[in-house]
Amino acid sequence: MEVWPATLAYTHDDLLIEPRERESISMDANATPLLALFEKKMRLEVPLFQRQYVWNCEQQWEPLWEDISRKFTEWLEGRKDAPVHFLGAIVLDQKQTPSTHVEKRHVIDGQQRLTTLQILLAAFRDFCREQGCEELAKEFEGYTLNKGMMGDPDVDRFKVWPTQLDRPLFRDVMHLLSREAIEAKYPLRRQKWARKYDPRPRIVEAYLFFSDQIRDFFLGNGEDAPLMADQPLDARIEETLQALKNALHVVAIDLERDDDAQVIFETLNARGEPLLPADLLRNYIFLRAARQGEPQEELYETYWRKFDDDFWREEVRQGRLIRPRSDLFMQHFLSSRQMVDIPVKHLYVEYRFWIERKRPFDTVAEELAALSRQGDDFRRIIEPQADDVIFDLATFLESFDVRTAYPLLLFLLEGKLSGHDWKEVAAILESYLLRRTVLGWSTKAYNRIFLNVAKSLHKAGPTPENLRATLSGLSGESSAWPSDEDLFSAWQTRQMYHDLNNAKLVHVLRRLNDTYLTSKNEKITIDCPLTVEHILPQDWIEHWALPGGEVGLELDELYDAEPDNARAVATHRRNAALQTVGNLTILTQQLNSAVSNSGWLVKKPQLLQGSLLPLNIQLHEHDTWDENAIAARGKELFERAIKIWPAPGT
């Protein structure tokens, strides 16, 4: 195991502290294994003036679990020489408060992280107990509760003691000892008329989140088997416990006895301009070039200068992160080379580890040439040109927000595929991804899927045939390529307008529109934005009678209607068809609301008059437009869709 001290950045609940910023702060900082924090008979107490627990799923719990589960995966797969991961910083006050048997320390910074880690360990404890792994449950419990003599057992038994408002909830999570008991004490509730349940208390939600993640990791999610499923459960848990003990560290910062805790806290919150990973990597690469006697200036001018352009420092969104393009390129480049997922926040450590352990290049010049070449490839992907062979695929991936495929594309671009092969690759990937999108299947595993595909193609060869075979062999809802039967069911019934954004719907409808073009049609170039229009409008009740001639029911009337009420049944049926593909089209110019909501006899000529798209010209043959017409059009469009986006194995 090796730690890279020069790369260490100390993080706390609200900031990033670069190493250079710590030089003026008087403190003793030590890298400490995560569980070592909780081994001593000690209570880490959050002062009353600290804020209550505020971490949430998207911004903190999910990233934390991604970091931890990544280390679990490395250890289960035998990659124990990977760099240690730092989960952040904890600042503790050295001024100890006398107590009878349990040492007490004040938490100056890091209380959110400490509380969350205790909740995670409690979820692990309860999972082990539920699965009959009692010895492991006791092991985890030892990191959440103090043992032995205590002056005030009700308080001293806790390794972490949060601020006042959080104590009752925290006590329950630590004491109830099972997920079932916690859910019974904090059941889901919702207000009358409300569609969604009220959220549970934040600490309870955190416990349930980690409980779900632990269960999915070790037992699978119903569709996919867990990692190393052939190994006994207790052996897998024991291995991940070792990862918690050895591969996950925190930075424990102890204030000196005479330090003013408030001054230190304010200093930690004074943020400087952080170095980008690309800045750190540039320094690292060119320092190595100098040490190896390679011409720094010549290498910089030839290969690196372009990465210092403003283009590469511009921040863009990827998932929930907003990062400079240079960071994202280096992340995807490194992932494509190692064929493992590389979180962008670990980029510098992972890159240095790769270079110094794997030695993939003989010289720095060779390394920079690869970076320069693939930097050009990455720019082709994110700024595609209409005459580029990858244009259609790149614009599709952008519209569907599937940037997790970029490492695979970088790998394929190194393979020098022909123009014909690229068209095949684009058709295969688009069919795989679009079908999954229509069904609403999860995108969470896409990182793993595309890296595994790259591994497979690295062995078998980067050809369209091998790509199709690899994707066709995937199974389970998290990774399978949906069949025609699965697609048809979702195509006819899913509320596509609600579930897909405008860019995705426009792409689908525009591709369908193109299927109506023949060699006899004059080619139409559309430069203006397209908008999605409901043929039968969303506000339909006033001008669109039900099939029996009755007026549809408003929402409040539906709520009070009897289940077998004929008008209610007909209204539900129409509303179910309203947002499906069969009732959607695209327009070059949006209709005004008066026309859009008018009856079919008024709206139809306006649709035809205002659009030259073949997709809309087909509506001319419909004298009426209702749920039956919607279903028929949906089926007709589906027959075209399966030719554009063919099923796996075809």
pLDDT tens digit sequence for 156-187: 999 999 988 899 999 999 999 999 999 999 99
- In angstroms, the CA 158 to CA 144 distance is 6
> Is 167 a member of any domain?
yes
Angle at 467 between CA 464 and CA 473, to 5 degrees: 140
Residue 6 pLDDT? 31
Residue 272 pLDDT? 46
Q: Are residues 160 and 31 in the same domain?
A: yes
Q: Are residues 327 and 295 in the same domain?
A: yes
- In angstroms, the CA 347 to CA 321 distance is 14
The answer to whether the beta carbons of residues 86 and 8 sit under 8 Å apart is: yes
- 3-state DSSP assignment of residue 33: strand
Mean pLDDT of 560-585: 93
DSSP string, 203-252: HHHHHHHHHHHHHHHHH--SSSPPTTTTS-HHHHHHHHHHHHHHTEEEEE
- In angstroms, the CA 77 to CA 237 distance is 13
Please enumerate in sequence order all residues whose Cβ is within 8 A of that of 400, keeping only pairs 6 or more positions apart, or say none: 433, 434, 437, 503, 504, 507
> Is 186 a member of any domain?
yes
> Is 415 a member of any domain?
no
The answer to whether the beta carbons of residues 210 and 118 sit under 8 Å apart is: no
Residue 523 pLDDT? 60
Tokens of 317: 């969104």
Pick from 100-104, 147-151, 343-347: least confident = 100-104
Q: Are residues 56 and 27 in the same domain?
A: yes
> Is 449 a member of any domain?
no
Nearest to 173 by CA among 151, 144, 147: 144
C-alpha separations of 85 from 1, 5, 337 in Å: 11, 12, 20
Q: Are residues 190 and 116 in the same domain?
A: yes
Mind listing the pLDDT tens digit for each residue in 21-62?
Answer: 334 445 567 889 999 999 999 999 988 767 889 999 998 999
- In angstroms, the CA 537 to CA 131 distance is 52
Q: Are residues 220 and 346 in the same domain?
A: no
- 3-state DSSP assignment of residue 110: coil
**Distance between first and last Cα of the chain:** 47
- 3-state DSSP assignment of residue 84: coil
Taking 70 as the threshold, does the pLDDT of residue 292 lie above it? yes
Task: Please report which confidence band the pLDDT of residue 283 belongs to, taking 50, 70 and 90 as the band edges.
Answer: confident
The answer to whether the beta carbons of residues 406 and 325 sit under 8 Å apart is: no
- In angstroms, the CA 597 to CA 358 distance is 64
- Which position has the token pair 């996919």? 224
Mean pLDDT of 106-117: 92
Residue 609 pLDDT? 79
Strands 160-161 and 315-318: unpaired
Residue 187 pLDDT? 95
Strands (E) across 358-486 are located at none
> Is 455 a member of any domain?
no
Residue 11 pLDDT? 35
Mind listing the pLDDT tens digit for each residue in 251-263?
Answer: 888 877 666 665 5
Q: Are residues 37 and 87 in the same domain?
A: yes
The answer to whether the beta carbons of residues 414 and 339 sit under 8 Å apart is: no
Q: Is 172 exposed, middle or buried (0-12, 13-18, 19+ CB in 10 A)?
A: middle
Q: Are residues 256 and 279 in the same domain?
A: no
- Which position has the token pair 């970029």? 406
Q: Are residues 251 and 317 in the same domain?
A: no
Q: Are residues 257 and 319 in the same domain?
A: no
Tokens of 113: 């992280």
- 3-state DSSP assignment of residue 105: strand
> Is 429 a member of any domain?
no
Sequence length of the chain is: 650
Taking 80 as the threshold, does the pLDDT of residue 319 lie above it? no
> Is 558 a member of any domain?
yes
The answer to whether the beta carbons of residues 200 and 188 sit under 8 Å apart is: yes
- In angstroms, the CA 597 to CA 630 distance is 17
DSSP H helical segments within 461-592, as ranges? 464-472, 484-493, 496-499, 502-514, 555-560, 566-578
Mean pLDDT of 516-529: 69
Out of 206, 241, 268, pick the residue that ends a domain.
268
Mean predicted lDDT score pLDDT of the chain: 88
- pTM value > 0.95: no
Pick from 178-192, 239-253, 264-278, 351-365: least confident = 264-278
User: Which residue did the predictor score with more confidence, 100 or 14?
Assistant: 100
Residue span of the structural domain in which 364 resides: 275-383
Out of 235, 252, 268, pick the residue that ends a domain.
268
- Which position has the token pair 């000196």? 256
From edge to edge, which strands make up the β-sheet containing 85-93?
27-33, 248-255, 85-93, 103-109, 42-45, 160-161
Residue 65 pLDDT? 96
- In angstroms, the CA 528 to CA 520 distance is 24
Out of 268, 287, 314, pick the residue that ends a domain.
268
Tokens of 492: 């006819």
Residue 611 pLDDT? 74
> Is 66 a member of any domain?
yes
Q: Are residues 124 and 194 in the same domain?
A: yes
Q: Are residues 228 and 332 in the same domain?
A: no
Taking 60 as the threshold, does the pLDDT of residue 4 lie above it? no
Q: How many domains are there within the chain?
A: 3
Residue 108 pLDDT? 85
Q: Are residues 190 and 243 in the same domain?
A: yes
Taking 70 as the threshold, does the pLDDT of residue 15 lie above it? no
DSSP H helical segments within 323-362, as ranges? 325-338, 347-353
